[in-house]
A and B are shown apart, each in its own frame.
Chain A
Amino acid sequence: MLDLKNRFKNDKLFIALILIQTIPVIFEINEWPLTNYPMFSIVRKPFNQIQRLELFAETDSKSKDLKISPFNVKSFYALQRYINDVNNPRVNEMINEKIEYLKGIGDKSIKKISLNKKIFNVIPSLQNPNVLNLEIEHIHVKNYIIE
């Protein structure tokens, strides 16, 4: 049955709610992106190359790579995605922090950490300059051995 009681028709509450819900959205507009991660909304000018860094941990049994604990899997994975931006000043800080963490209080089963750096070149095709091709230029590997 339809409830036709005199409801507490509070228009002030309605207006207040509308104002409250605009606050986080306006915050998003002003503060986006909230992290240094290269978000989709950051404008990219034309570029020639893109750099990618990967951090891997090697354990005794290679099949258990990066599967130390559920959180560690996530954190490694996050780091790999985090550092794609070449111009991000936090990249080196992040890598150093992570390596220090793994050397110090990290899992004892980690024997070696390797840092891979790949550089992709973006080359316009000769037939159509609008079409771009991607080539791997070189791979640089740096190893940190934990005793």
Chain B
Amino acid sequence: MSKITSLNKLYKDKKTLDLFAIIYSIAICCELIRVRSYYIFTGEYYLTSVLKGTFGYSYLYCSLIAILPISGFLYRKHSHIFLYVSLMFFCVFKVIINSKLYPENIFQPYNHDIVFWIFLTLGLRQFIEDAKVISLIKFYILFSYFAGGVIKIKSGWDWMNGWTLYYYIIDRSVIYDIPFALGFFKNLLYAKIASWIAVVSELSVVFVLFKKSLNFYFSLFFIIFQIFCHFILEIHFLPFFIWANLIYLASFVARQKQSVVISILNKL
């Protein structure tokens, strides 16, 4: 009986990874297409190394876009393909690290870190068990949210005084037109409540490590949280970071016995 359950678990992990590789690579491909003009311009400006002279940054970028969906579908049999993808992605996002001093790019290195890490861990599937690959990806997501909480309370409990959020909202609302946020958070009580919710939720992701049933609620909450931050507070962790949460969706789909997605996947 235990053998059957362990076999089922192996199947489940395998399905999860296969499905996640496909949907994640397509999602990242779409993101790269969406921001292509900005990335290619900044890349070509900042890149003064060998890559620009010999290969051409825009070609590297376009080839990465082309390779991503193909590698997602080839991943079932040739898992090492994501090692090359991660190397290419590193070459692309290294450029943005060079331009890190500019605040419009400040979120991008942290977005790129997780994409690079996920491609790398997917590529190392040959050497690690599937369950451990999944746990590595999940651990990165949880740990980075937890770190976000720790950063905020690093210098005491003053971050939740409401003034921090109000300063940030003024700062952003002068540049962007976000009247809703400025109108809503000018009441310091609301600003305090929102700050406390952010910090408590970020610090409480530790419980997800110990209780797996919280996974779904965790991913749902943080998707809503990131959408809120993206559109109202102009904190752009949404574009690349949020797609990592698809692993929770993939594991949920893989758990279903009669799933349309899995049956399509088996026919490929």
* A residues 106-142 in Cβ contact with B at 8 Å: 118, 120, 122, 128, 130-134
Offer 27 A-B interface pairs, CB within 8 angstroms, sorted by A. Answer: A2-B10, A7-B127, A8-B126, A10-B127, A14-B128, A14-B136, A22-B143, A25-B143, A25-B147, A35-B101, A37-B106, A38-B168, A38-B171, A41-B151, A43-B158, A43-B159, A43-B164, A44-B164, A44-B168, A50-B167, A50-B171, A71-B41, A118-B174, A120-B174, A130-B187, A130-B188, A132-B188
Which residue from chain B places its CB closest to the CB of A40 in the assembled complex?
A: B168
Chain A interface (Cβ within 8 Å of chain B)? 2-4, 7-10, 13-14, 17-18, 21-22, 24-26, 28-29, 32-35, 37-47, 50, 52, 70-71, 74-75, 77-78, 80-82, 84, 118, 120, 122, 128, 130-134
Provide the bound-state CA to CA distance between A42 and B104, in Å.
Answer: 17
Provide the bound-state CA to CA distance between A124 and B38, in Å.
Answer: 41
Q: Is the CB of B166 within 8 A of A10?
A: no
Q: Is B132 on the interface with A (CB-CB < 8 A)?
A: yes
* 0 or 1 for each of B136-173: is its CB under 8 Å from A? (1 = yes): 10011001100100111011101101011011101100
Q: Is the CB of A78 within 8 A of B103?
A: yes
Least distance between B143 CB and chain A CB atoms (Å)? 6
Q: Is B31 on the interface with A (CB-CB < 8 A)?
A: no
Q: Is the CB of B189 within 8 A of A130?
A: yes
Given B14, B106, B136, B175, which contacts A80 in the complex, CB threshold below 8 Å?
B175
Given B7, B10, B100, B150, which contacts A29 in the complex, CB threshold below 8 Å?
B150
Q: Is the CB of A41 within 8 A of B159?
A: yes
Summarize B's interface: helix, strand, loop or mixed: helix
Q: Is the CB of A132 within 8 A of B104?
A: no
Q: Is the CB of B104 within 8 A of A74?
A: yes
Provide the bound-state CA to CA distance between A120 and B171, in Å.
Answer: 11
Given A8, A130, A131, A133, which contacts B127 in the complex, CB threshold below 8 Å?
A8
Provide the bound-state CA to CA distance between A50 and B164, in Å.
Answer: 12
Q: Is the CB of B170 within 8 A of A134?
A: yes
* 0 or 1 for each of B175-198: is its CB under 8 Å from A? (1 = yes): 100000010001111000000000
Q: Is B60 on the interface with A (CB-CB < 8 A)?
A: no
Provide the bound-state CA to CA distance between A28 and B171, in Å.
Answer: 23
Q: Is the CB of B171 within 8 A of A77?
A: no
Given A4, A8, A21, A42, which contacts B139 in the complex, CB threshold below 8 Å?
A21
Q: Is the CB of A2 within 8 A of B14?
A: yes
Provide the bound-state CA to CA distance between A38 and B14, in Å.
Answer: 44
Q: Is the CB of A47 within 8 A of B128?
A: no
Q: Is B124 on the interface with A (CB-CB < 8 A)?
A: yes
Known: A70-B37, A84-B171. 19 other contacts (CB 8 A): A14-B128, A17-B121, A18-B139, A21-B140, A25-B144, A34-B100, A41-B151, A43-B159, A44-B167, A50-B170, A50-B171, A74-B41, A78-B104, A84-B174, A130-B187, A131-B186, A131-B188, A133-B186, A134-B182
Q: Is the CB of A29 within 8 A of B45?
A: no
Considering the complex of A and B, which 4 residue pairs feature the smallest CB-CB distances, nearest first? A37-B103, A44-B167, A78-B102, A70-B41
Q: Is the CB of B164 within 8 A of A52?
A: no
Q: Is the CB of B117 within 8 A of A43?
A: no
Q: Is the CB of B175 within 8 A of A81?
A: yes
Q: Is B11 on the interface with A (CB-CB < 8 A)?
A: yes
Q: Is B29 on the interface with A (CB-CB < 8 A)?
A: no
Known: A43-B155, A46-B163. A132 touches B10 (CB 8 A): no
Contact partners of A43 in chain B: CB under 8 A: 155-156, 158-159, 161, 164
Contact partners of B45 in chain A: CB under 8 A: 71
Provide the bound-state CA to CA distance between A21 and B127, in Å.
Answer: 17
Q: Is the CB of B128 within 8 A of A35?
A: no
Provide the bound-state CA to CA distance between A71 and B42, in Å.
Answer: 7
Contact partners of A18 in chain B: CB under 8 A: 136, 139
Q: Is the CB of B143 within 8 A of A21?
A: yes
Provide the bound-state CA to CA distance between A133 and B182, in Å.
Answer: 10
